[in-house]
Amino acid sequence: MASDIIRTPEEAKRFARVVLSDVAAYNGPKIEKGLIEDSLFEILRDELYEGELYYRSRVDKTLCDSTNFFNMAVVDLLIKTKGQLKTTLW
């Protein structure tokens, strides 16, 4: 339904964070392992792919193509929140 499409940047940012919050909630140990081993994107490949597909299915295509809200949410919710981990990344 067209009314289900997210059309504003504010809503798209919020929705990206919701999607990535779910990924974080269900994959904590995998996220930590991926950061420690510098393999986060390999370990979460399927989850991130599914999450981005879902995000893109709900957000206006022009808005998706002109912003990087999904990737920003990945950094904010999967990486920055684990700053206390001992990893060679930082």
Q: CA 49, CA 43: separation in Å to the nearest integer?
A: 11
Give the whole-angstrom CA distance, residue 34 versus residue 53: 21
Note whether residue 71 is domain-resident.
yes
Query: For residue 38, is it within any domain?
Result: yes
- Is residue 34 within 8 Å of 78, Cβ to Cβ? no
Assigned domain for 36 exists: yes
| pLDDT by residue, tens only, the chain of 90 residues | 456 999 999 999 999 999 999 999 999 999 999 999 999 999 999 999 999 999 999 999 999 999 999 999 999 999 999 989 988 888
Domain that holds residue 53: 15-81
Rounded to an integer, what distance in angstroms lies between the CA atom of residue 29 and that of residue 37? 12
Residue 50 placed within a domain: yes
pTM (global) more than 0.75: yes
As for how many domains the chain has, the answer is 1
